[in-house]
Amino acid sequence: MLTHAMWVHGHQVRVENPERMAQVWRAGFFARLVGRPSTTNWLHLPVPTPVIVDDKRQMVHSALVRLRTGSPRAKITNVHVFDGTRRIAAYDGLSLSPSAFGMERFDVPGRPDVWEGLGVTLGVRFDGTTNAENTIEIASAGVDLTLVQTIRLHVKTLTAPTRFTIDQMIAAMRQVYEPAGIRVVRASDQTLNLPALDIVDIGECNMGQTPTAEQTTLYGNRNSAGANDVVVYFVRATNPPTNGCAAHPAGRPGAVVASGASRWTLAHEVGHVLGLRHVTPTDRLMMGGGTNNITNPPPDLVGTEVTTMLASALTQGP
């Protein structure tokens, strides 16, 4: 879900190698750049970017450029997106020569946080023999941004899962949570040597239950986790056996996940931590028949569930 967009006028373009240009002219609504024959260049467009909005760090969704060229012999060959010194997206080997002003969009993989401020850089090539053929006109450039709630997840491993890796489970969790506007941040990893708790007693594992003595001891290991962070403990098994359990002591939000858990167990148990209850439909993340039996993956979250999750104190700014 896009929440902000920032743009800069084409007048703001900066040419890396001015000596390779035959002409740079700024008109009413665009900048016209005429390259010398058989040259390449880089064009830089700084985009003013609010980094933090409503106490949350924004994420980059995509970069956009509106331009046209005088002929197919004037080309955009590269589009790079920078956040300060970091290059966060690179599209190389392009051959863009739109004859009319149109919008070119370039996704930024991974939707990274904005830390320093954004810029769009264009690599260009001029192979024409006349000024008209070697013309590029830039009207504007911009970025689309997202601003979402965040869950900070701390991973504590007693026994690594055997069916699906932790990376796969977190990827599956993101696949369900992020379309709902909830980002999953893997805040830390730690290996725990607690053999007495590797098969942890979970009692009846009901929401709001008084935790067992073993749960209380295990959940005391919250190294580096903040009060509103979620800690997940990967154990060999639970007693009685189950894929996972989200019952936790007050003030220690978290869950346990057994080594034989399904791909969706982590997302399901954290859903409980955020206040969700079991449902009947088997295509939903919170189906009560065991995440091994989810149908039509990836499983769904419905609007009321998303509202509950967003209202939780555990969804926060980064």
Question: In the prediction, which pLDDT does 209 show?
Answer: 79
In this structure, are 130 and 14 located in the same domain? Answer: yes
In this structure, are 54 and 201 located in the same domain? Answer: no
In this structure, are 256 and 142 located in the same domain? Answer: no
CATH number for the domain including 65?
2.60.120.260
Question: In the prediction, which pLDDT does 244 show?
Answer: 96
Residue 44 C-beta-side C-alpha neighbours within 13 Å = 12
Picking from 258, 273, 268, the residue whose alpha carbon sits closest to that of residue 300 is 268
- What is the rounded distance in angstroms from the CA atom of residue 195 to the CA atom of residue 247? 21
In this structure, are 119 and 209 located in the same domain? Answer: no
Question: In the prediction, which pLDDT does 52 show?
Answer: 78
CATH number for the domain including 172?
3.40.390.10
Task: Report whether 32 contacts 5 (CB < 8 A).
Answer: no
Task: Report whether 297 contacts 264 (CB < 8 A).
Answer: yes
Question: In the prediction, which pLDDT does 55 show?
Answer: 66
- What is the rounded distance in angstroms from the CA atom of residue 257 to the CA atom of residue 56? 29
In a domain, 212, yes or no: yes
In this structure, are 79 and 173 located in the same domain? Answer: no
In this structure, are 43 and 110 located in the same domain? Answer: yes
In this structure, are 110 and 177 located in the same domain? Answer: no
In this structure, are 161 and 301 located in the same domain? Answer: yes
In this structure, are 116 and 167 located in the same domain? Answer: no
Whether this model's pTM surpasses 0.85: no
In this structure, are 171 and 76 located in the same domain? Answer: no
Dihedral of the alpha carbons of 173, 109, 115, 228, in degrees to the nearest 10:
0
Last residue of some domain: 131, 146, 161? 146
Last residue of some domain: 115, 131, 146? 146
Total domains, the chain: 2
Q: Which residues pair with 245 in a beta bridge?
A: 256
In this structure, are 14 and 78 located in the same domain? Answer: yes
In a domain, 316, yes or no: no
- What is the rounded distance in angstroms from the CA atom of residue 203 to the CA atom of residue 300? 28
In a domain, 289, yes or no: yes
Q: What is the mean pLDDT of each run of 10 residues along the chain (318 residues)?
A: 84 97 94 98 95 78 96 98 97 97 91 90 98 98 85 96 96 91 90 97 87 95 93 97 94 96 98 96 96 95 94 79
- What is the rounded distance in angstroms from the CA atom of residue 184 to the CA atom of residue 186? 7
Question: In the prediction, which pLDDT does 181 show?
Answer: 81
Q: What is the extent of the structural domain holding 233?
A: 149-311
- What is the rounded distance in angstroms from the CA atom of residue 12 to the CA atom of residue 280? 56
- Residue 132, Cα to own-chain centre: how many angstroms? 42
Q: Distance of CA 261 to CAs 107, 256, 273, Å?
A: 33, 10, 17
Question: In the prediction, which pLDDT does 26 show?
Answer: 94
Return the axis-axis angle of helices 265-273 and 166-177, rounded to nearest 10°.
60
> Where are any strands of DSSP class E within the chain?
4-9, 14-15, 21-26, 31-35, 39-47, 52-53, 56-57, 59-69, 74-83, 86-91, 102-107, 118-126, 135-146, 149-157, 182-191, 199-201, 230-235, 237-239, 244-245, 254-258
In this structure, are 94 and 208 located in the same domain? Answer: no
Question: In the prediction, which pLDDT does 302 show?
Answer: 96
Last residue of some domain: 99, 115, 146? 146
In a domain, 317, yes or no: no
